[in-house]
């Protein structure tokens, strides 16, 4: 540049430099970077709050607090105020100084009104309509864009997940806490604000943490969770099945996917507020527009059209950037909902934006408080917190990563020490949770606690633990039936305290009418060095049993003479004395495939009014007994099966996955006195079908075919029920030994509507009753070779006074159905059962009322 230093040019350049200098000063003032950092906490609990929105007022600049509640925000603008907002909390605004580095820590107070049931008030009452409703048009846009916003919209995605689940006895009064019996347990109690969910005094009972790597692939579709670390409270396995307890809690608190049509919660399916059919079941209202964030959000409130239905109430925050994505949501339930024991429920979901502008779940916080009384008294409070980070898209993994089961655990995942967890948790445990593991470990060393657990085990499981031997089950000590009259029994079994390899079980019983002793003895060797009462099992067992039984009612060993099965309707006098030797090999796999090989030598002697006689001899009991020797194989596959392993049997935790069973039996004549050659094949499939707002249906199908010629006690004797208890897998109006077949097919459907109909009826809906319907059909028959009418050398079908009481299904299928009311007093189901055919048989009941005690949410 050429500069002229004459006076005019000098003045002109001076003026120019003056303006440039002034502009530079202003530019520096506006261009210095402002850096704000800090931590966001809950004003009441002092815990950090992940996912809080942090924005500069008057701009589209913002960020979110990370998993530790920490944030950092940078700007070169001259902004003077910063705003913090989060669902469930009141927004807070703070002053800042432009052009400097500063720390702004903030505590957010709870918004007491946000998660209460949404109530829309206006002037004159206007009928709610979907047509022309802008809120409904908005939710339909959200529904239409689900496929672009949910996880399935990515070709590939992977992320790291941390989850923590804790459970407490809740709402405990000071009087309860200070009772003398808790004198040695005061170190366990936790205190919080009395207005918080769960009440003032909490008693921790369970805690679990998991770290996992998660992978998703759209095509071919695959989801995989690899658990890298798992930590949970462990109780003495003599009293509690820790794996089963974990399964129960995980079933109650599952992953919450707002984009799924149905959300699995507490063993039920609840319709998502953005489900395809949501406008049919929900009412929607636009309640706010938030413009000080980018993109701007619309707050959409929703309530159930019918408060008793299995639906949510709450708010959704929707992005107004053309994606119609969910940015945050707060879910709760109505006080009128037809779910048992729930006092309060709160679900907060937070979503973060990725580099492509899509939103993915970053945090899920589920809290619920349960109680027998919804308003007062002790209860159970549980919380599940899920934090997702390191979310990445478009990175395909090797095929080996996606193959196999959907969820696996790395070897040693449950062996991580405290130092590992301190380093790998996204945040340190708060004071409430920090010592739960150690305190419950200490609790189990207190003698008074051990004594209490023994008493509880006796009352609930029926066994009294003496260390290496436990006595029980108590509900079999007393029994009565027409053959034995009054019956006394005493038994027990060894525990893992005696040996982890060898287990023994025995009982002795005496009938005062038949004046005979009965007994059972078994010895089991655990091949995989695990308790035989712990999954997965692998063992060899030998057993011998001499006892009474009802033909066709063969149950598992020691459950046969439960006291509550003593009460029967109608005539119940067809019995046998069984002499059974069994040799079993059982092998279960982690994927829930199992097989069983068995040798069984079985001698049956008729008792009561049952007799064995052929047509060639008119004398009753001309045949004293029949003996069979049998080899059998059973294959079972129950993918993703969950259960609680009790002292006597496994209690399944119902799920949507089917269970397949295939059984083959081969009778061998001449082997250890076996009198018959035959083959029997049986197949069974059971599955629960979830039907959203219509509840669920449990469906079971079974079929069998017997090859060979055998007497009627070896045919398939169909499962009858002459007790007054409703048995879902038996025919409740069929008499014992009424029907036999050598080929058959059956279907059983039990439909639970979860109150879908009763919830619509005024007054009745206040009782929170639930409607159930069931139907059972059995097709079968006896081929000529096994029909004693065509083969006089075969044993005759049973009869009384010349009137037949045992039949084949020659006149079509046996059918029965029922309609019932469930959830009476929250525990009772009553069914009116009706039998539709074969009504001319003697001593049959055309209809009856049956009861079932069942505890469910």
State how far Cα 161 lies from the chain centre: 21
The answer to whether 736 touches 720, Cβ cutoff 8 Å, is yes
Instruction: Copy the structure tokens of residue 45.
Output: 């609990």
pTM for this structure?
0.82
The Cα–Cα gap between 580 and 582 comes to: 6
Task: Write out residues in the chain with pLDDT < 70, as ranges.
Answer: 1-31, 51, 59-60, 67-68, 87-88, 112-125, 194-195, 554-566, 615-621
The answer to whether 794 touches 709, Cβ cutoff 8 Å, is yes
The answer to whether 45 touches 196, Cβ cutoff 8 Å, is yes
For residue 17, give every residue at least 6 positions away whose Cβ sits within 8 Å of its Cβ, in sequence order, or none.
none
SS3 for 454-488, per residue? HHHHHHHHCCEECCCEEECCHHHCEEEECCCEEEE
Cα distances from 851 to residues 289, 504, 728, in angstroms, run: 53, 36, 11
Instruction: Copy the structure tokens of residue 311.
Output: 């639906």
State how far Cα 713 lies from the chain centre: 40
For residue 832, give every residue at least 6 positions away whose Cβ sits within 8 Å of its Cβ, in sequence order, or none.
818, 819, 820, 847, 848, 849
pLDDT score at 125: 58
pLDDT score at 60: 59
Instruction: Copy the structure tokens of residue 412.
Output: 């040693």
CB atoms within 10 A of CB 572: 19
Long-range contacts of 484-487 (CB under 8 A, 24+ apart): 484/511, 484/512, 484/513, 484/514, 484/516, 484/548, 485/511, 485/512, 485/513, 485/514, 486/511, 486/512, 486/513, 487/511, 487/512, 487/561
pLDDT score at 565: 63
Tokens 């679900």, residue? 347
pLDDT score at 643: 86
Helix then strand then coil, in percent of the chain rounded to 5, is 15, 45, 40
Instruction: Copy the structure tokens of residue 607.
Output: 């008792």
Residues 694, 700, 703: CA angle, nearest 5 degrees? 155
The Cα–Cα gap between 88 and 479 comes to: 57
The Cα–Cα gap between 8 and 771 comes to: 100
Which tens digits make up the pLDDT trace of 292-322? 778 889 999 999 999 999 999 999 999 998 8
CB atoms within 10 A of CB 264: 19
Answer positive or negative: Cα dihedral of 791, 795, 796, 798: negative
pLDDT score at 397: 93
């Amino acid at each position: 540049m050429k500069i002229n230093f004459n006076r005019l040019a000098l003045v002109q350049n001076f003026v120019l430099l003056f303006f440039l200098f002034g502009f530079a000063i202003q530019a520096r003032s506006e261009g210095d970077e402002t850096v704000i950092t800090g931590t966001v906490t809950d004003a009441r609990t002092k815990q950090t709050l992940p996912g809080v929105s942090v924005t500069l007022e008057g701009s589209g600049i913002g960020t979110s607090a990370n998993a530790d509640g920490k944030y950092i925000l940078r700007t070169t603008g001259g902004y003077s105020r910063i705003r913090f907002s989060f669902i469930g909390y009141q927004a807070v605004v703070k002053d800042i100084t432009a052009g400097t580095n500063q720390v702004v820590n903030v505590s957010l107070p709870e918004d007491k009104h946000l998660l209460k049931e949404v109530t829309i008030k206006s002037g004159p009452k206007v009928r709610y309509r979907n047509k022309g409703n802008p809120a409904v048009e908005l939710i339909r846009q959200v529904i239409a864009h689900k496929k672009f916003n949910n996880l399935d919209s990515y070709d590939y995605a992977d992320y790291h997940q941390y989850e923590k689940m804790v459970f407490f006895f809740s709402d405990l009064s000071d009087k309860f806490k200070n009772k003398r019996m808790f004198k040695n347990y005061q170190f366990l109690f936790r205190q919080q604000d009395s207005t918080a969910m769960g009440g003032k005094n909490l008693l921790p009972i369970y805690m679990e943490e998991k770290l996992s790597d998660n992978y998703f692939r759209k095509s071919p579709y695959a989801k995989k969770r690899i658990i890298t670390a798992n930590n949970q409270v462990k109780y003495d396995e003599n009293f509690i099945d820790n794996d089963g307890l974990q399964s129960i809690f995980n079933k109650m608190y599952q992953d919450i996917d707002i984009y799924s049509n149905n959300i699995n919660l507490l063993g039920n399916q609840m319709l998502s507020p953005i489900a395809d059919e949501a406008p049919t079941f929900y009412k929607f209202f636009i309640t706010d527009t938030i413009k000080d964030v980018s993109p701007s959000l619309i707050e959409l409130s929703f309530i159930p059209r019918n408060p008793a239905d299995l639906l949510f109430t709450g708010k959704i925050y929707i992005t107004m950037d053309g994606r119609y994505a969910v940015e945050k949501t707060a879910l709760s339930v109505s006080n009128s909902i037809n779910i048992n024991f729930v006092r309060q429920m709160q679900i907060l979901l937070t979503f973060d934006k990725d580099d492509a502008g899509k939103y993915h779940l970053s945090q899920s916080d589920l809290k619920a408080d349960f109680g027998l009384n919804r308003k007062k008294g002790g209860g159970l409070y549980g919380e599940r917190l899920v934090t997702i980070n390191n979310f990445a898209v478009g990175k395909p993994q090797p095929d080996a990563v996606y193959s196999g089961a959907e969820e696996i655990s790395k070897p040693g995942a449950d062996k991580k020490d405290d130092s590992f967890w301190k380093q790998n948790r996204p945040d340190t445990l708060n004071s409430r949770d920090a010592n739960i593991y150690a305190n419950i470990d200490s609790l189990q060393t207190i003698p008074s606690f051990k004594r209490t657990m023994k008493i509880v085990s006796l009352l609930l499981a029926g066994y009294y633990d003496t260390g290496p031997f436990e006595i029980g089950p108590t509900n079999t000590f007393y029994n009565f039936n027409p053959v034995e009259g009054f019956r006394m029994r005493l038994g027990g079994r060894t525990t893992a305290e005696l040996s982890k390899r060898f287990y023994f079980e025995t009982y002795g019983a005496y009938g005062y009418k038949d004046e005979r002793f009965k007994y059972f003895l078994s010895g089991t060797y655990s091949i995989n060095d695990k308790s035989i009462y712990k999954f997965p099992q692998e063992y060899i067992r030998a057993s011998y049993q001499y006892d009474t039984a009802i033909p066709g009612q063969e149950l598992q060993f020691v459950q046969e003479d439960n006291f509550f099965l003593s009460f029967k309707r109608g005539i119940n006098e067809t019995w046998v004395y069984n002499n059974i030797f069994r040799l079993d090999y059982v092998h279960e796999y982690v994927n829930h495939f199992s097989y069983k090989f068995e040798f069984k030598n079985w001698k049956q002697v008729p008792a009561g009014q049952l007799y064995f006689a052929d047509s060639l001899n008119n004398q009753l009991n001309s045949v004293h007994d029949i003996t069979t020797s049998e080899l059998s194989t059973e294959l079972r596959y129950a993918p993703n099966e969950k259960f609680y392993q009790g002292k006597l049997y496994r209690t399944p935790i119902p799920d949507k996955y089917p269970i397949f069973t295939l059984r083959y039996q081969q009778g061998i004549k001449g082997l250890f006195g076996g009198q018959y050659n035959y083959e029997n094949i049986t197949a069974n499939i059971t599955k629960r079908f979830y039907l959203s707002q219509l509840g669920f249906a449990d469906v079971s199908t079974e079929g069998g075919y017997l090859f060979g010629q055998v007497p009627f006690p070896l045919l398939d004797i169909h499962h009858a029920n002459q007790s007054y208890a409703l048995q879902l897998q038996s025919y409740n109006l069929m008499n014992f030994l009424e029907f036999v077949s050598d080929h058959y097919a059956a279907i059983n459907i039990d439909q639970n509507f979860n109150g879908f109909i009763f919830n619509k009826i005024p007054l009745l809906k206040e009782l929170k009753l639930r409607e159930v319907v069931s139907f059972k059909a059995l097709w079968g028959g006896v081929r000529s070779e096994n029909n004693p009418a065509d083969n006089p050398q075969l044993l005759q079908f049973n009869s009384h006074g010349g009137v037949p009481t045992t039949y084949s299904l020659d006149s079509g299928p046996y059918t029965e159905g029922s309609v019932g009311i469930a959830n009476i007093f929250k525990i009772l189901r009553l069914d009116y059962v009706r039998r539709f055919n074969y009504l001319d048989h003697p001593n049959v009941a055309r209809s009856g009322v049956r009861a079932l005690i069942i505890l469910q949410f």
